[in-house]
């Protein structure tokens, strides 16, 4: 939990940067605030991309975790598994899925970074051995893609070429559509992403399981079970998951510039649909198997 809070707080600090102020000014069409937002420290902007990537992993890892285990608990409840069986099945699935998701994040992120670094090395070699050809490429890109005149395109390309690191990263974006971050560690970033995915999936995925176990162990509401034919602990799980999915949705909406309540509703709806499908499919299969 502390890890998640630190991640969210780190991203909240990014929201307080001039980028957030500029976005608010644009939404309000406030010219003076927009001008003030462009006066500030540029250092924090360099890290916004990495912060947003980690936030995306937290949100989507958390969504996958809570929906997966919520659906699994729903299926187990539907076929009347005992508490020990539910805990064993769901805990094993939680850790296995969290590890699989983190490995998938590590492999995909590593492959992306390796590809970008390979292209960067190729561009560096071409700039060293074929500088005029590389400048000519940028001139053509400026003219064909951005509508520069020949003179302006040539001046722009030769000016940028004086600053090799900038020229390489700029050319990779314009020619290849690849974003290379000079300050980013190619080895550390995939590890951070994988660890964030594992923690997020495990943390949020444990909510439906632990809430069910807690209610079963410490709350005596079997009279309600006899009355409504549904476990009160499962109702408690549903309420906990709805609350958590709402929070995740609002965080996602806040950082993605979409209405928070709309994002929260979308996440809650997706979670409830997944859990409902698991519950009713498990109930149907259990009914069919008992009838045979």
Q: What mean pLDDT is predicted for residues 253-280?
A: 87
Residue 272's region, left for phi above 0, alpha for psi from -120 to 50, else beta, is alpha
User: Cα-atom radius of gyration of the chain, to the nearest Å?
Assistant: 26
Q: Which has more pLDDT, 226 or 49?
A: 49
- Confidence tier at 205 by pLDDT (50, 70, 90): very high
- Confidence tier at 28 by pLDDT (50, 70, 90): low
Q: What mean pLDDT is predicted for residues 74-96?
A: 92
* Least confident stretch, 7-21, 62-76, 118-132: 7-21
What pLDDT shows up at residue 24?
A: 66
Please compute, for residue 85, the number of CA atoms within 13 A of its CA located in the half-sphere on the CB side.
8
Q: Which has more pLDDT, 123 or 92?
A: 92
Q: What mean pLDDT is predicted for residues 272-276?
A: 92
Q: Which has more pLDDT, 85 or 54?
A: 85
Q: How far apart are CA 197 and CA 134, in angstroms?
A: 39
Q: What is the pTM of this model?
A: 0.72
What pLDDT shows up at residue 20?
A: 62
Residue 80's region, left for phi above 0, alpha for psi from -120 to 50, else beta, is left
Q: How many CB atoms lie within 10 A of CB 97?
A: 19
| pLDDT surpassing 90 at residue 180 | no
- Confidence tier at 22 by pLDDT (50, 70, 90): low
Summarised one tens digit per residue, pLDDT across range 104-138 is: 989 988 888 888 888 888 888 888 888 888 888 88
What pLDDT shows up at residue 215?
A: 86
CA 108 to chain centre: 14
Domains of the chain, residue spans:
1-42, 49-291
Q: What is the mean pLDDT of the chain?
A: 79
Cα–Cα distance list, 36 to 17, 21, 24, 64, 107 (Å): 12, 9, 12, 40, 42
- Confidence tier at 243 by pLDDT (50, 70, 90): very high
What pLDDT shows up at residue 37?
A: 59
Q: How far apart are CA 192 and CA 179, in angstroms?
A: 19
């Amino acid at each position: 939990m502390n890890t998640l809070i630190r991640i969210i707080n780190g991203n909240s600090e990014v929201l307080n940067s001039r980028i957030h102020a500029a976005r608010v000014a644009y939404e309000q069409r406030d010219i003076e605030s927009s001008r003030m937002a462009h006066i500030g420290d540029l250092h924090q902007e360099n890290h916004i991309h990495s912060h947003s990537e980690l936030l995306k992993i937290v949100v989507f890892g958390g969504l996958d975790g809570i929906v997966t285990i919520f659906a699994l608990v729903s299926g187990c409840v539907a076929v009347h598994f005992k508490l020990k069986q539910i805990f064993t099945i769901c805990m094993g699935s939680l850790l296995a899925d969290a590890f699989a998701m983190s490995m998938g994040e590590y492999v995909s992120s590593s492959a992306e970074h390796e590809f970008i670094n390979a292209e960067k090395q190729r561009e560096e070699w071409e700039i060293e051995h074929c500088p005029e050809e590389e400048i000519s490429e940028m001139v053509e890109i400026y003219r064909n893609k951005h509508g520069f005149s020949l003179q302006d395109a040539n001046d722009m390309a030769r000016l940028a070429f004086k600053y090799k690191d900038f020229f390489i990263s700029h050319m990779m974006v314009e020619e290849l559509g690849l974003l290379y971050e000079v300050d980013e560690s190619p080895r550390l970033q995939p590890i951070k992403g994988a660890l964030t995915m594992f923690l997020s999936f495990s943390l949020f995925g444990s909510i439906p399981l632990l809430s069910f176990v807690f209610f079963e162990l410490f709350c005596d509401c079997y009279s309600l079970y006899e009355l409504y034919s549904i476990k009160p602990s499962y109702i408690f799980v549903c309420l906990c998951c709805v609350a958590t999915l709402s929070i995740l949705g609002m965080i996602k909406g806040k950082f993605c510039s979409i209405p928070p309540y709309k994002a929260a509703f979308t996440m809650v709806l997706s979670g409830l649909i997944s859990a409902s499908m698991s519950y009713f499919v498990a109930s149907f299969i259990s009914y069919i198997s008992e009838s045979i």
